[in-house]
Amino acid sequence: MDMRKHTAPLSPAPGPPGFAVAWCAAFTVLHVYWALGGNIGLAESAGAELAREKPTAFVLIGLWGVAALLVVGGVFWCAVARS
C-alpha cells in the first residue's frame, strides 16, 4: 500500500482560474518592468506625462503597489485552481 501523500501538480489548472493566474503573472511582470525603468507601453497605459516624469508616488504606489496586489491575486487564483 502506497502511504505517500499525493499532491496536486504545480501548474495552474486550465479554465478561468488558470487564466486569472496567467493574467496576474503577465501584468506583474509588466509593472515590475515599468517600475525598474522600462518605458515600452507605459505612455499608452498611464499617460504620456506620468511615463515621462515618473513621480516617486506613481512608481511606489502605481507600479510597485499594483505589482504586489497582482502577486496576491495570482497566489489567490493559484490556490483556487489547485483546490
What are the residue boundaries of the structural domains of the chain, listed by start? 16-82
CB 54 within 8 A of CB 62: no
CB 79 within 8 A of CB 17: no
The model carries a pTM of 0.78
Tens of pLDDT, residue by residue over 14-73, are 688 889 999 999 999 999 999 999 999 999 999 999 999 999 999 999 999 999 999 999
pLDDT computed for residue 2 by the predictor: 57
Name the more confident of 78 and 5. 78
